[in-house]
Chains A and B, each alone.
Chain A
Amino acid sequence: MVKKDAKAYVYINGKIMGFVDNPADFANEIRASRRKGILSGEVNVAYMEKTNEIHINTDSGRVRKPYIIVENEKSKLTQDLAQKLKNKEINFNYLLRNGIVEYLDAEEEENAMVVFNEKDINEKTTHIESDLSGIFGFTINVSPFPEHNSLARHAMLANFTKQAEGLYASNFNIRFDSRSYLLFYPQMPIVKTATYDSINMKSHPSGQNFVVALSTYYGYNMADAIVINKAAVDRGMGRSVFYKTYSDEERRYPGGQKDRFKLPPATTEGYMGEHVYSKLSEDGIIEPEMSVEEGEVIIGKVAPPRFLEENLGAGGLEEKMRDDSTILKAGEKGVVDSVVFTETTGATKIVKVRIRSLKVPEKGDKFASRHGQKGVVALIVPQEDMPFNSDGIVPDLLLNPHSIPTRLTFGHLLETLAGKAGAVSGKTIDGTAFAEEGPKRIEAYSKMLEERGFEKYGNETLYDGITGRPFKAQIFNGVVYYNRLYHMVSNKIQVRSRGKVQILTHQPTEGKARQGALRFGEMERDALIGYGASLLLKERLLDQSDKTTIAICKSCGGMGYYDHIKRITICSLCGKNDFEDVEISYAFKILLDEIKSLHILPTIKLKE
């Protein structure tokens, strides 16, 4: 424990600056001068009673939050001031300057006693939280009714918000982002929050209001799958465009050589055939609004040969060039949206080609609501087969009701109801956290629905689109704001039967970009051993992978080589040519070669 009446160390930005006798008073004095404006509002002070230290922080990188100051058990934000603020006679900065509101950092918060409500103020209270939703950050506060959702779902929501397609920038047309996604008809959500307005999300909308019914559909929306309406898709629901920019430059090499943008002549090394270059114009670069597919060249370029020797035989003739064109990657297609031809400050020519491709929602595309409820389209149903209500309203999306109770996302249900109430009465609904208690909210939305002749809790009799019969149970439906996330099958799908292999190991390549295969890993191997399927295992690991045939000398067990001049296989160890062809994995051959490189001779004994 700290001795009584001991002097307290004073730290400024973590460095000891001196001592004080009565630390608590000292800290209060600093606070008082900050409120008066003598000290900068960015200064925070904290007195640590346990260690008897004073920490004054003025540096950057501290997370700070505004609080309303309480003095003598009274909030400094009086009724009068609040009214003035409402009438816009004063603004937030006025409150800051006049010591009514101040920012606290994490350390100073330890010294503060904060209440949520003015009536809770007691003699210890130092601050009031400006708004209850202030206990959440921006990301959570953009979602409606966050206080009704589980924390785990908020974490997911924060991720989905980043992945949502929308209008990310209004100058998208002149930007050359390497990848960007743009939603065709973004909407403002019917259920908004105060934060939504304050961070100006209005100018960057990222979703659409879907009519959602909580219903199953022949098992097609089990386990986070969703069923969507074909007609809605045709009307533009979730439709978006994907831009991808390819770029290339004329590089300079030591020795005065450089790349050249041009239509590669047929004599170029690595020329891929006329049809591949057919869409290029004379300058070797593709023209806008040309539709392109995988494997086609979009930027024609020739480069000098990699090694000098290649050039020597030419004897002063025209330089032999190498093809270094940019090819549209596998699985991609679209229309050339825009081409830019420019120079860097170093006078290097640069070409950027932006490819645009339309992404209509299809099976396998991902959608998410603002409650961490994600789903993948599993079925697109023609409108006539979807359930409908007596007014002829057909839902855009069918969400499985099982996705609600275990995930504790009751905010989703509340948004469905609020969205419906807002839609029928033509109003936006405020979904700010803690703005109203849950039951009162439901009451208000129920009233709005009843006034317009709807069932008050959002339930309706729906009719089976296929049989035309009403469903026995009433089905809860409403309007929910959905985001389309940028994970789309068309950008991820990849297939391979036979294909490229790695040079070093002769094994199949890995990854989509290399047309790779799926790895048959250790655990898969164990499963086959456990089942005793020895030939299937051999097929996976050898025949379909890196099978090689080597010649083994029958007398010494060494590896033979084929002499192309004598046209016989010779053993380099004993010189004989009595061989047996053996099938082994190429990986094992490398092992043998590497062991040999260490001056150790591995030999293979053959069984009779």
Chain B
Amino acid sequence: MAKKYSDGREEFHVEKGDPVGMIAAQSMGEPGTQMVLRAFHLAGIESTISTSGLPRIAELVDAKKSPATPITYVYLDKSINKDLEKVVALMKKINEVRMSTIMRHAPMENFGKGLIKISLSGQELESEQLTAKQVASKLAKELEVEAYEKDGAVYINAHTKDAKKIRALSTKISKMVVSGIEGAGKTTVQKDKNTGEFYIIAAGSNIESIINVDGVDKSRLTTNDVFAIYRLFGIEAARNSIIKELNQTLKEQKISVDERHLMLIADSMTSAGSIKGVGRHGLSGQKNSVLARAAYEETVKHLIHAAAFGEIDPMEGVTENILVGKQIPIGTGSVKLGIKTEQPKKK
């Protein structure tokens, strides 16, 4: 870090009482106003269209449980990462294929015979390199039912004539994952221009499962899903991920915000050991002061709570002191002048 900022910035140390949070908020908020107007995409690069700009910032800062467009970058062990065939094979292993994508239409139930017919799309099967037989055996194994292939369609014998059970089974089938890792999403292989190695991009964020696949470089596995990183690697990693994602989103929009502001935001979001958003369900909603919370959102809720439980406002923050008209305990207000009141001794 020290080396990174050895460009004269070390002169700008933060002093005691500096309102760093306000400055961080302004430093990100002002360029944010420009971002709304220029929501553009760079065409062609990394085939997947990911959320960017203001919506992405909002997603990160509000601590959304799952991002709108999760992406996982799967780097591979050195032994295989330059062999395209092996990489593609690995990709197929990860690539999530759902029944719903290879089915031509919804399963057709024959309640009289207790049969379910699933017509498969040949085109989809081919692109996923699957056969109807494979699908049938997978279904038989997973659902523990009798399944067989006939004329390119898969038939399942439910061994029951209970319509409810048959319907439940067919719903289950539609949601099933036939091959790959659940939650990994669609995958593509990319080539790193600098190192010449191949890596896999997955449109999902199930890194908990992907990390266990043989051949995956565990040290370089990463995703844009902050919560997935938090679950797998812990809070420190999540903090770094928030900083990285914020930085990247801002850079895409050609906006330069000092990284230390982002670090402060990420720190306050993660300091409690879990990821909290900045809004009314996160940092602002958990302020110590009743008045500050009531001044922000859901005024009545906070006042009623305070009345019912006899809350005491310690008056330590900025908002509540402005509200009542006291000097704020920040900046020049964070120091007090002390005078000795005892009389000087007479000689």
Footprint of B on A, CB under 8 Å? 525-527, 529-535, 537-538, 541-542, 547, 583-585, 587-588, 595, 598, 600, 605
What residue of chain A has the Cβ atom nearest to residue B312's Cβ? Answer: A605
Map CB proximity to A onto B281-318 as digits: 1 under 8 Å, 0 otherwise.
Answer: 00000000000000000000001000100001000001
Interface residues of B in 314-335 (CB under 8 A from A): 318, 322-334
Whether A532 contacts B331 by the Cβ 8 Å rule is yes
> Measured between alpha carbons, how far is A530 from B328 in the docked complex, in Å?
12
Residues of the A chain whose Cβ atoms lie less than 8 Å from the Cβ of B19: 529-532
How far does the alpha carbon of A587 sit from the alpha carbon of B325 in the complex, in Å? 9
Q: Which residues of A contact B303 (CB under 8 A)?
A: 595
The CA of A531 and the CA of B325, in the complex, are separated in Å by 18
Q: Which residues of B contact A538 (CB under 8 A)?
A: 325-328
Interface centre among A529, A537, A600, by most chain B C-beta atoms within 10 angstroms, is A529
Asked whether, in the complex, the Cβ of A530 is within 8 Å of the Cβ of B23, the reply is: yes
Contacts A525-B322, A583-B325, A585-B324 hold; do A534 and B307 have CB atoms under 8 A apart?
no
- The interface bits of chain B over 236-263 (1 if a CB of A lies within 8 angstroms of the residue's CB, else 0) are 0000000000000000000000000000
A-facing mask of B4-27, CB < 8 A → 1, else 0? 000000000000011100110110
Besides A531-B19, A535-B327, A584-B324, 19 other A-B contacts (C-beta < 8 A) = A525-B322, A526-B22, A529-B330, A529-B331, A530-B23, A530-B26, A531-B331, A532-B17, A532-B330, A532-B332, A532-B333, A533-B332, A534-B330, A534-B331, A535-B332, A537-B328, A585-B323, A588-B325, A605-B312
B residues sitting closer than 8 Å to A (CB atoms) are 17-19, 22-23, 25-26, 303, 307, 312, 318, 322-334
- Which A residues touch B17, using CB under 8 A? 532
Give the 10 A-B CB pairs with smallest separation, nearest first. Answer: A532-B331, A534-B333, A585-B325, A542-B325, A600-B307, A530-B22, A588-B324, A534-B328, A534-B332, A529-B22
Contact at B332–A588, with CB atoms within 8 Å? no
Nearest CB on B from A290, distance (A): 48
Contact B307 A595 (CB under 8 A): yes
A111 to B163, CA, bound (A): 57
| CB pair B325 A535 closer than 8 Å | no
* Bound form: Cα–Cα A467–B135 in Å: 95
Provided the pairs A529-B330, A530-B26 are in contact, do residues A584 and B325 lie with their beta carbons within 8 angstroms? yes
A239 to B11 CA separation, bound complex (whole angstroms): 59
Q: How far is the CB of A217 from chain B (nearest CB, A)?
A: 34
CA distance A56 to B328 in the complex (A): 71
A261 → chain B, closest Cβ, in Å?
48
Q: Which of A527, A530, A533 lies at the interface centre, i.e. has the most chain B CB atoms within 10 A of its CB? A: A530
Q: How far, in angstroms, from A532 to B331 measured CA to CA in the complex? A: 4
**Cβ–Cβ < 8 Å partners of A547 in chain B:** 325
Q: Tell me the complex Cα distance, A412–B23, Å.
A: 46
Question: Looking at the complex, which one of A532, A584, A588 makes contact with B18 (CB distance below 8 Å)?
Answer: A532
B298 CB, min distance to chain A CBs, angstroms: 16
A605 CA / B212 CA spacing, docked (Å): 59
Q: In the complex, A315→B322 CA distance in Å?
A: 53
Residue of B nearest to A536 (CB): B332
**Docked complex Cα distance between A96 and B146 (Å):** 82
Task: Tell me the nearest residue of chain B to A586, going by C-beta.
Answer: B325
B312 to chain A, nearest CB (A): 7
Specify which chain A residues have a CB less than 8 angstroms from the CB of B334 in the assembled complex. Answer: 534
Question: Complex: how many Å from CA A531 to CA B18?
Answer: 8
Query: Whole-angstrom distance between the alpha carbons of A588 and B329 in the complex?
Result: 19
Residues on the B chain within 8 Å of A529, using CB: 19, 22, 318, 328, 330-331
Give bound CA distance, A538 to B332, whole Å: 11
Residues of chain A within 8 A (CB-CB) of B23 are 530
Cα of A303 to Cα of B22 in the assembled complex, Å: 55
Please, how many angstroms separate the alpha-carbon atoms of A300 and B275 in the complex?
70
A526 contact set on B, CB distance < 8 A: 22, 25-26
Q: Given A529-B22, A595-B303 in contact, is the A535-B333 Cβ separation under 8 Å?
A: yes
Complex contacts, A537 vs chain B, CB 8 Å: 322, 328
CA separation between A598 and B332, bound complex, in Å? 38
Question: CA separation between A605 and B312, bound complex, in Å?
Answer: 9
Chain B residue, CB-CB nearest to A541: B322
29 intermolecular pairs with C-beta atoms under 8 Å apart: A525-B322, A527-B26, A529-B22, A529-B318, A530-B19, A530-B23, A531-B331, A532-B17, A532-B332, A532-B333, A533-B331, A533-B332, A534-B328, A534-B330, A534-B334, A537-B322, A538-B325, A538-B328, A541-B325, A547-B325, A583-B325, A584-B324, A585-B323, A587-B323, A588-B325, A595-B303, A595-B307, A600-B307, A605-B312
| Nearest-Cβ distance from residue A205 to partner chain B, whole angstroms | 41
Complex interface: chain B residues within 8 A of A588 (CB): 323-325
List the B side residues contacting A583 at CB < 8 Å: 325
How many whole Å from A520's CB to the nearest CB in chain B?
11
Which residue of chain B lies nearest to A532 when distances are taken between CB atoms in the complex? B331
Report how far A605 CA is from B318 CA in the complex, Å. Answer: 18
Q: Contacts of A532 on B, CB cut-off 8 Å?
A: 17-19, 330-333
- List, in ascending order, chain A residues with CB within 8 A of B325's CB: 538, 541-542, 547, 583-585, 588
Once the chains bind, are A534 and B327 in contact (CB under 8 Å)? Answer: yes
- Residues of B within 8 Å of A542, CB to CB, are 325
Q: In the assembly, what is the distance between CA of A542 and CA of B22, in Å? A: 21
The residues of A that contact B330 with a CB separation of less than 8 Å are 529, 532, 534
Q: From A592, which residue of chain B is reached at the shortest CB distance?
A: B324
Whose C-beta in chain B lies nearest to the C-beta of A547?
Answer: B325
In the complex the two chains form, what is the Cα distance from A534 to B330 in whole Å? 7
Q: How far is the CA of A605 from the CA of B310 in the complex (A)?
A: 13
Chain A residues contacting B312 (CB-CB under 8 Å) are 605
When distances are taken between beta carbons in the complex, the residues of chain A under 8 Å from B324 are 584-585, 588
A448 to chain B, nearest CB (A): 47
Q: What is the bound-complex CA distance between A600 and B306, given in angstroms? A: 10
From A526, A547, A587, A605, name the one whose CB has the most chain B CB atoms within 10 angstroms: A526
Q: How far is the CA of A498 from the CA of B329 in the complex (A)?
A: 29
Nearest B residue to A542, CB-CB: B325
How many whole Å from A536's CB to the nearest CB in chain B?
A: 9
Q: Which residues of B contact A531 (CB under 8 A)?
A: 19, 331
**A557: min CB distance to chain B, Å:** 11
Which chain A positions have C-beta within 8 A of B329?
A: 534
Q: How far is the CA of A583 from the CA of B330 in the complex (A)?
A: 19
Query: Closest residue of chain B to A523, judged by CB?
Result: B26
Chain B: minimal CB distance from A559 (Å): 13
Would you give the shortest CB distance from B260 to chain A, in whole angstroms?
15
Nearest-Cβ distance from residue B257 to partner chain A, whole angstroms:
15
Q: From A537, which residue of chain B is reached at the shortest CB distance?
A: B328
- CB of A588, distance to nearest CB on chain B (Å): 5
Task: Kindly state the separation between the CA atoms of A585 and B25 in the bound complex, as whole angstroms.
Answer: 27
Which residues of B sit under 8 angstroms from A587, Cβ to Cβ? 323
